[in-house]
Structure 1
Amino acid sequence: MAEPKLEVPAELRDLVEKAIEQAEKAFGMFFDAANKSAASVSTPGTETAKQALTFTEQNMKAAFDHARRLVHATDLQQAMQIQSEFLRSQFTNAGEHMRQITESVMSAAKNASKS
């Protein structure tokens, strides 16, 4: 049995793409301001905060890319495949981000104990 097609009008796809672009621009402005703010502060936790901000920005970019791919899915099977790939990559990235942040925190604690 053939998978039913997702009947999404082109106008709706265009509207969603524009909404994604606008949201991405707004988040870009937020991250620019947050990075400038983080760069102006120098505390022991600043590097970890900058790292967390970078990971958050990467996650948001991945989410926007995911939304773009999903809006062009032509059937439910393709949509589920796109969702599955996204979740798999997010879990992998989350594990890597946690590992890097843990290393950063441990390194900062080690350096602080030497002082």
Structure 2
Amino acid sequence: MIEPKLEVPAELRDLAEKTIDQAEKAFGMFFDAASKSMASVPGSGSEMSKQALSFTEQNMKAAFEHARKLIHATDLQEAMRIQSEFLRSQFTNAGEHMRQITGGVMSAASDATKGKF
């Protein structure tokens, strides 16, 4: 069975690429502003917030890269391969992020209970 080609005009691919670039730039500005805002907040909770913001930024960058790859897919099989790779990497990253967050929470809890007993 021959996989049909995705017949997407070059103009549409170019428009999609430009739209992704604009959205990525807007999110970059948001993350810059959020990082600057968090830098002024003292306390241990702000470290976890900074870490969560960093994870979110990494996820958004991965999503933009994924979108760029998808708009250049030439057939359905390639699009499904790209999607599968993206989902696999996102699950791996989510697990790593959860391990790091859990480690941070456990460390903070341990620090908070020191000296109380």
TM-score by length of 2: 0.96
Letter in 1 for 2:83: Q
Q: Aligned residue for 1:42?
A: 42
List, as ranges, runs of 4+ consecutive aligned residues in structure 1 with deviation greater than 6 Å: none
Q: Aligned residue for 2:87?
A: 87
- Cα distance in 1 for partners of 2:53, 2:108 equals 17
1:107 and 2:107 aligned = yes
What residue ranges of structure 2 are gaps of 5+ in the alignment? none
Q: How does 1:2-21 map to 2 (within 5 A)?
A: 2-21=2-21
Q: Aligned residue for 2:28?
A: 28
How many residues end up aligned between the 2 structures? 115
- Cα distance in 2 for partners of 1:12, 1:69 equals 14
What residue ranges of structure 1 are gaps of 5+ in the alignment? none
Shift of 1:114: 1.8
Letter in 1 for 2:63: A
- Cα distance in 2 for partners of 1:57, 1:15 equals 24
